[in-house]
Amino acid sequence: MRINQQAQGLQQMASTLKQRLKGDLHNRRAHIIAISSGKGGVGKSNVSLNTAIALQQKGFKVLLIDADLGLANVDILLGSNPKHNLGHVFQGIKSLDEIIYPGPDGLDLIAASSAEIDYINVDRVALARFLKDVLHLEKIYDYIIFDTGAGLSPTVTSLLMSAHEVILVITPEPTAITDAYAVIKILSREGFSSSWKVVVNQAQDASEGEDAFQRFNSVTEGFLGISLNLLGIIPRDFAVSRAVMEQRPFVLSYPLAPASVSVWRIAERIVNNQTYSREKKKGLDHLFYRFWQGMKGESQ
């Protein structure tokens, strides 16, 4: 009964989205990027934050959503303590636009909180409500970046499927590559067909980063028939550790550090490599409509 009532409440919204799927996409604006990893400890949140700032400094309007409710690292990296967070959205207490707070250099942020909800088991209605809010924000921003949780919970998988572009962060460690391979394997089975971008983080040098990428790419090509795109290699850099201790983004505190230079290049490639067509920019619409159809089926 509860699912049936919730599905009825979302039916009108889904009908509107169905009309948008028929071609009314010219008002869409934001490019949605999900930055993820197969395992924790690869520096994913740091890559997300600094890449978002680099895009903001290039003159784009950027929103970074810390969707890693298991760890919620972005506010820690910034030393911020926002009053509201994504947990309040999933609980239905706040909408996304009500919890946006200003970050460094004009970046807009939405915080996560590992203490508010069971992120692994976010129900379909709460996730659909969240994606509906993102739809409204698409007209405001040039880029919306999800810093997702590591691994493949149902919530993480849904966020990755909703993005126009997924960037996987790996390190040269074999476990990081193996776990990232699992992400690609699962999402490809779910029908995700966009190009896969890879950032190799914490590499000793360019040679080690290139070798890690080639090992990763050979596995996905050999077993899945999927070719990856190397977006960039971020070297291991003491400036990153210092910036974390200072709770400041390293691209701002140490703009000439090797890691910062690498992130600037990654941001430049993100902008230059946006070859997707307007017709392909409909991930959130399709995902939300699919949620509604699923709830409708469950209620029958």
Q: 145: exposed, middle or buried (C-beta count within 10 Å: 0-12, 13-18, 19+)? A: buried
Q: What are the tens digits of pLDDT across the range 48-74? A: 999 999 999 999 999 999 988 767 789
Using one digit for the tens of pLDDT, what is the confidence trace for 144-194? 999 998 878 888 888 888 888 999 999 999 999 999 999 999 999 988 877
More confident residue, 28 or 156: 156
Bigger pLDDT: 188 vs 11: 188
SS3 of 57, please? Answer: helix
| Residues contacting 143, CB < 8 A, separation 6+ | 30, 31, 32, 33, 52, 55, 60, 61, 62, 63
| 3-state helix, strand and coil shares in percent for the chain, rounded to the nearest 5 | 55, 15, 30
Tens of pLDDT, residue by residue over 202-248, are 999 999 999 999 999 999 999 999 999 999 999 999 999 999 999 99
| Residue 27 banded pLDDT, cuts 50, 70, 90 | low
Q: State mean pLDDT over 25-54.
A: 88
The predicted structure's pLDDT at residue 26: 47
Q: How far apart are CA 146 and CA 78, in angstroms?
A: 17
**Strand partners of residue 66:** 147
pLDDT of amino acid 235:
98
Q: Residue 248 is encoded by which pair of tokens?
A: 């400041």
pLDDT (0 to 100) of residue 24? 43
- pLDDT value of residue 130: 85
CATH class of 26-281: alpha beta
Q: What are the tokens at 131?
A: 């994606």
Residues 6+ apart with CB under 8 A from 210: 200, 230, 233
pLDDT band (50, 70, 90) for residue 260: very high
Tell me, what's the pLDDT at 287? 55
Residue 263, pLDDT > 70, answer: yes
Count of CB atoms within 10 A of residue 134's CB? 21
The dihedral of CA 13, 17, 18, 24: what is its sign?
Answer: positive
pLDDT of residue 87: 83
The mean of the pLDDT values for the chain is 83
Using DSSP, state whether 288 is helix, strand or coil: helix
Please answer whether residues 127 and 6 qualify as being in contact, where contact means their C-beta atoms are separated by less than 8 angstroms.
no
Using the Cα atoms of residue 215, residue 171, residue 168 and residue 235 in order, give the sign of their dihedral.
Answer: negative
DSSP state of 143: E
pLDDT at 106: 95
In this predicted model, what pLDDT tens digit does every residue of 101-144 receive, in sequence order?
A: 999 999 999 998 755 555 556 777 788 778 888 988 988 999 99
**Rounded Cα–Cα distance for residues 144 and 142 (Å):** 7
User: What is the pTM assigned to this prediction?
Assistant: 0.85
pLDDT for 2 beyond 90: no
Predicted confidence (pLDDT) at residue 77 exceeds the cutoff of 50: yes
